[in-house]
Amino acid sequence: MDLLIKNDALVGVEPQRSHPISRGQLCAKGWSTYYGIDAANRITQPLIRDTQGFQPANWEEATVFICEKLREILETSGPSAVGVISSARATNEDNYAAQKLARAVLHTNNIDHCARICHSPTVAGLKQTLGSGAMTNSAADILDADLIMVFGADPTENHSILGGHVMRAKLQGTTLIVVDPRRTRLAKLADLHLQLKPGSNIALVNAMLDAIIGSGWHNRNFIKHRCDGFDRLAESVSNALQEAESHTGLAQGLIRDAAKLYSQSKRAMILYGMGVTQYVSGTNNVIALSNLALVCGQIGRPGTGINPLRGQNNVQGACDMGCLPNVFPGYQPVADSDCRARFSKAWGVKLPERPGLTSLGMSKAALSGDFLGMILFGEDPVVTDPDQNHVREALQKLDLLVVAELSMTETAKLADVVLPAAAFAEKDGTFTNCERRVQHFRQALLPPGEALPDWQWLRAIARGLGSDQLDWYDSEDIFNEMAALTPSYSAMDYYKITTQRGLQWPCDGKNPEGTTVLHQQGFATDNGRAKLIAVQQAAVDEPPDGEYPLTLTTNRLHFHYGCGSMTRKSPLLERETPAGILFINPQDAADLTIDHLAAVGVKSRRGYLETRAMVSEDVPPGLVSMPYHFREAPSNQLTNNAMDPLTKMPELKACAVRVAPLPPGRQPRQIDTILMDSRDAPLLS
């Protein structure tokens, strides 16, 4: 996007007409960008909490306060008691600085960010099968595919530019298959909609594989020359088609039709989202999709591949920068002695050997008193993390919580120190989008008041702790250090990125102009061959029962984003959607005597909230759905924190709830009121 500046103020936004991805388009959120960074809504100076609440402070006072608390924790409890949560909305440079502060200054691998609860299974699953946990193809390939299978994603809502590409491809004749428990906008346009039961992804994919292998539709040549493990996989999926209907609710014939269409297309592309990853079986779900693409040879060519859709503008970049507890930048394992030696030599400091805590692990350790200090920026876990009550309790138990933000979020309200952060338009840096394209952006505005780019206040903390590890001159200086240590970025620099409208990694000595399609000749595994790994269907952790008879899943809305801290500042976006809604099927609504837009209470084993019912046939009977954007009625008050064993991804896409109408005339109460006074909540007893 281009920002229109007049008299040092942002007065409008325009799409870049020739951009290779957006192609002259912006989504509703892009057009409303200026509301999210409007100075009128912003934190403009540091705030320190005392017994009377937040008090204004200067940067020196805030830094001294933070560093004194950190020293106290480090001296009494050691580095394992502190950690950093960085941001998928922050730049690559900010995220690199955050993980370096954790590792080289605080001497801990306790560094994580929101990819933990969106695409950590993608990184883990595709790393095992393909050797690289990223989108294999480019956005332009959507328009080159003969078939697109959208699996557990709603791109017209969540990734509107790419969703538009899918719709355009469909209008041009591309076959469209949508796999989703809900009847999304794309599902209504699809040639096939596989409306499976929540959590039955593996059963469906294994059944497709059974049909494909049993009918001889698999790509024998590709499997022979580029894959290992086929015989074991074939054995494991035998009879999966016969068993699929009981797991998925889908007829065998429909599954067979989808399998034939996908396997026999010349170029078939998989796009997937958090309807795949946000389960206790998230990593195995990703592995199953990888198996499907590999068995059919639908990878390594334009218009094919397995392509995760990232939920925020720099989720890919924050992962690339090493803002994960088990890897350095470029996914180099912290437990690997050679990788550790390389970074230790470059940074001139001994680095911790053991992987650190995940973001949810930090919360759990805080509840037990083993984790005491957190630095967090650009995230609002009180709204976005599962089991909101436990998250709030964990943050309140910390000895030190530092939050850097644009505006006062629910998490910032709990902080000991709140720092004013610069928005993207107020600093220089780079972002890496979901197709691995690293793009440079330039500062257009001055930050309001005393707000700073994240790497600059992180540098101030490092200096306050007596370290020069973060003493960079500017963001380009940070990028150059990162690129020198990150093989997939090693041939990039600001000039090259800017003049070429971004570069897709790997961009190295072998690929100096970047890489549009991964795995064209071989895979990034030890032997260059992909791994087919047998995985089996696993039930959701909390199925419905007599006490909680409905399944709740979470979704996003077209007009909002994340925790809503930016989009809900826009009156244009806010007017489009009521503050919190529950989608419920007409049959369930009738059984519960719930009218359209009626006030309802929703209860799970972890929490209770009140909202309004949106009666809709877009959800099937037995399933209700809620967005998580709204602090007044946050779905994560209800969601389950049961986790994928490998990645610690919580099962946000399925938990058991019950729903009841509120008494006539009662308006839904905000969650703050419910937490203070639950005496008349109809579902709590």
Residue 65 has pLDDT above 80, yes or no: yes
Asked, colleague to colleague, whether 120-308 and 550-676 share their fold, the answer is no
Side-chain-side CA neighbours of 511 within 13 Å: the count stands at 16
Mind listing the pLDDT tens digit for each residue in 403-419? 999 999 889 999 999 99
- Please give the helix or strand (H or E) that residue 283 lies within, else none: helix 282-295
Kindly report the average pLDDT of the chain as a whole number.
Answer: 91
Q: Under a CB-based contact definition with an 8 Å cutoff, are residues 46 and 57 in contact?
A: yes
Mind listing the pLDDT tens digit for each residue in 493-542? 999 999 998 999 999 999 999 999 999 999 999 999 999 999 999 999 99
Residue 685 has pLDDT above 50, yes or no: no
For the chain, the first-to-last Cα distance in angstroms comes to 51
Architecture of domain 120-308: 3-Layer(aba) Sandwich (3.40)
Across the chain, how many H-helices and E-strands are there? Answer: 26, 27
Strand-pair partners of 682? none
**Which amino acid would we find at residue 126?**
L
- How far apart, in whole angstroms, are the C-alpha atoms of residue 35 and residue 632? 20
Q: In the chain, what are the domain boundaries? A: 1-31, 44-107+323-504, 120-308, 550-676
The mean per-residue pLDDT over the stretch 332-337 comes to 95
Tell me if the pTM is above 0.85. Answer: yes
Confidence of residue 676 (pLDDT cuts 50, 70, 90): low
The mean per-residue pLDDT over the stretch 262-289 comes to 93
DSSP states along 191-239:
SEEE-PPTT-HHHHHHHHHHHHHHTT-S-HHHHHHHEE-HHHHHHHHTT
The mean per-residue pLDDT over the stretch 80-94 comes to 96
Name the residue among 528, 532, 520, 125 with its Cα closest to residue 295.
532
Top-ranked range on mean pLDDT: pick from 89-93, 383-387, 580-584: 89-93
pLDDT at 680: 44
Rounded (10°) CA dihedral 124, 127, 130, 134:
80
Mind listing the pLDDT tens digit for each residue in 427-445? 999 999 999 999 999 999 9
Mind listing the pLDDT tens digit for each residue in 5-59? 998 888 888 888 888 888 888 887 777 776 666 667 789 999 999 999 999 999 9
pLDDT at 678: 45
The mean per-residue pLDDT over the stretch 553-580 comes to 71
**% of the chain at pLDDT higher than 70:** 94
Name the residue among 592, 610, 516, 32 with its Cα closest to residue 305.
516
The mean per-residue pLDDT over the stretch 469-492 comes to 97
pLDDT at 668: 82
Q: Which of 500-512 are b and which e, b meaning 16 or more Cβ less than 10 Å from the residue's Cβ?
A: bebbbbbbbeebe
Rg value, the chain, Cα: 24
Strand-pair partners of 306? 270
Q: Within 10 A of 413 (CB to CB), how many other CB atoms are there?
A: 14
Locus of tokens 């970074």: 343
Residue 300 has pLDDT above 60, yes or no: yes
Sign of CA pseudo-dihedral 436, 198, 363, 365:
negative
CATH 3.40.50.740 is right for the domain spanning 44-107+323-504: yes
Confidence of residue 567 (pLDDT cuts 50, 70, 90): low
Name the residue among 43, 90, 30, 60 with its Cα closest to residue 427.
90
Q: Under a CB-based contact definition with an 8 Å cutoff, are residues 534 and 129 in contact?
A: no
Identify the CATH class of 550-676: mainly beta
Mind listing the pLDDT tens digit for each residue in 304-322? 999 999 878 898 999 999 9
Residue 670 has pLDDT above 90, yes or no: no
